[in-house]
Every structure is written in C-alpha cells, then in structure tokens.
Amino acid sequence: MQQNFRTPTVYSSETRSSEGILNILISTYKEVLSMKWQIWIAFKKGFVASYRNTLLGIFWAIFLPLIPVSVYLILAQIKILRSSDDMPFVLFIVLGMVIYLFITGTITSVMNSLDKEKAILKKVNYPISAAMLSNFGKVAFELLVRLFFVIPLLIYFGVPWQSGLLLLPLMLVILTVFSLGIGVTLAISNVVLPDIKNVVGLVVAYGLFVSSVIFPMPENGLIGKINLFNPLNTFVNAVRQLIVFGKIENVLQVSIWAAISVVIALFACKLSYSMEYRIKEYL
C-alpha cells in the first residue's frame, strides 16, 4: 500500500520574513489577544512596583504626571516664558505638555521595554509585542490623569463644547499609532545599537523647546519651514487647536503626518514580527 508523506515545515528565524503585512497584522492581533491576561499582569506588576515602598503609594501615580506641567506654568506666570496670544498661557502650556509627554512617553517606554523585560523574553515564550504593550499601559494611564486635570481648566477659562471635539479620539489614535510605530522601531534598533537610547533622550529633552509646547514657534521663515518636518510640532498644535477652538488650522499637514504614521506603524509591525527570534538572540 502506497503511503503519501507530507514534506515537514521547517521553522527558523527566516520563517516570518516571507509573511505579507496583512497576515502579520492578523497574527500580531491574535498573539496580543491570546496574551491579554499576561499583558495586564505585567502592567499591574510594574505599576504597583513603582509605588510599593512609598508613603503615599498610588497617590504618586496621580500627582507625579502633573509635576512637569506645573513647573512650566510657574515659569510662564513669572514671565520667564513667552506664551500664546490667542489663548490663556495656562491652557497653552498644559495642553502642550500633555500631548508632548504622551507622544515622547510612549516612544521611550516602548523603546526601553525590551531591555526592561529581557529576563522574561529570554526564558519564556513571551512575544515582544506583549512586552511593549504592557509598558505602554503606564503611559496611557498618565494620559488619563492629565486629561482629568485639563477638564477643570477648560471649564474655568470658559472653553465651550464644540462639535470638532468629536475628532479628538481620532487624533489620539493617530498619536498612538505614530508613537508606537516610532517606539517599536527604536526598540529593535536599540537592541543592536544601544547608543540610540541616549540619542533619543537628547532629542526628547531638547525637542520640548522646538515643538510649540511651552511657547509658540514661528510659522514663517526658516524655522517655520523646518518645523514642517517636525511631527511633534504638527501634532501638538493640531490637538491643542482642536480642544480649544474645535478645529485644526493645517488639516493637510496633519493628514500627511497621519498617513506617514500609518506607514511607520506598518513597517514597525513587519520589523518586530519578522525579527522577533533574532531579537531574542541578541538580548
């Protein structure tokens, strides 16, 4: 009797490289969905560990995210920093800081996630996507804290409800896609070239002063042209305008960066999925 034998499939570090982007997105989604409990446990463990031995405990999780904002408010109040003419300086700085800290916090937390979760990634079958998302959770929590801080300010300064605010969730999704895409790409690059983490730290520190966060940047001239290529400046201004005025002035520029964000995120997803086994070898 003749028997038919199927050729066995051999899996290696090259196996995932041939996958198409649609299959990668589906596989990544299923992978994250199957690990959702582990992601929650990892987030909760890291969150609790940050405040376990402190006197005020969980209250630090509420107050610490507000400290960077309060410092620049004081500087603007004593006229050290120049603020915007079309809105109260308090709103200008607070909204700028909230947006900037969310973007840069997401990038740096995801970038550092592989090094932070190195022990788990090397010993158990824990996907790097899960490690990155568990670290992103803390940044998302801090965003919620800061947004609750913003709401009373909007009421105090009489900012009216406008239909344009319905686009705010979409803008937050765009910011998340952009930040995760950059963070994942840098996380993988940092495994091979650790100097990247130091470079990113410098960019984040000084980018604060060229992204219309604490004082407005010129829209014309050389600086205005340079800032066309600064996504942080574009996103900070767009979200702030949407919250205060209910509209975005430069829709085309925001749309271009939103499209670029999707491309970056797809590239990052492809990169992390296809190189996962190699990354774990480097760790």
Mean pLDDT of 51-67: 59
Assess whether pLDDT exceeds 90 at residue 142: no
272 contacts: CB under 8 Å, gap ≥ 6: 128, 129, 132, 184, 187, 188, 279
pLDDT tens, position by position, 201-242: 899 888 888 888 877 877 777 777 787 889 999 999 999 999
Among 200, 213, 192, 171, CA closest to 84: 213
pLDDT bin (cut points 50, 70, 90) of residue 251 is very high
pLDDT (0 to 100) of residue 1: 47
pLDDT (0 to 100) of residue 26: 83
Assess whether pLDDT exceeds 90 at residue 122: no
pLDDT (0 to 100) of residue 177: 95
110 close to 187: Cβ distance less than 8 angstroms: yes
Would you call 34 helix, strand, or coil by DSSP?
A: helix
pLDDT tens, position by position, 79-107: 656 666 678 777 888 888 889 989 999 99
pLDDT bin (cut points 50, 70, 90) of residue 143 is confident
Distance between CA atoms of residues 115 and 110, nearest Å: 10
pLDDT bin (cut points 50, 70, 90) of residue 59 is low
Residue type at 30? K
Assess whether pLDDT exceeds 70 at residue 63: no
Question: What is the greatest pairwise CA distance in the chain?
Answer: 93
**Residue with token string 């788990």:** 120
Which tops the pLDDT comparison, 247 or 219? Answer: 247
Average pLDDT score, the chain: 80
pLDDT (0 to 100) of residue 39: 76
Torsion, CA 275, CA 280, CA 282, CA 283, rounded to 10: 140
Report field, pTM of the whole predicted structure over 0.95: no
pLDDT (0 to 100) of residue 5: 46
pLDDT tens, position by position, 17-55: 667 778 888 887 887 787 777 777 777 776 666 666 555
Q: Report which DSSP code applies to 157.
A: T
Among 95, 90, 110, CA closest to 204: 110
The domain locations on the chain are 22-282
Assess whether pLDDT exceeds 90 at residue 174: yes
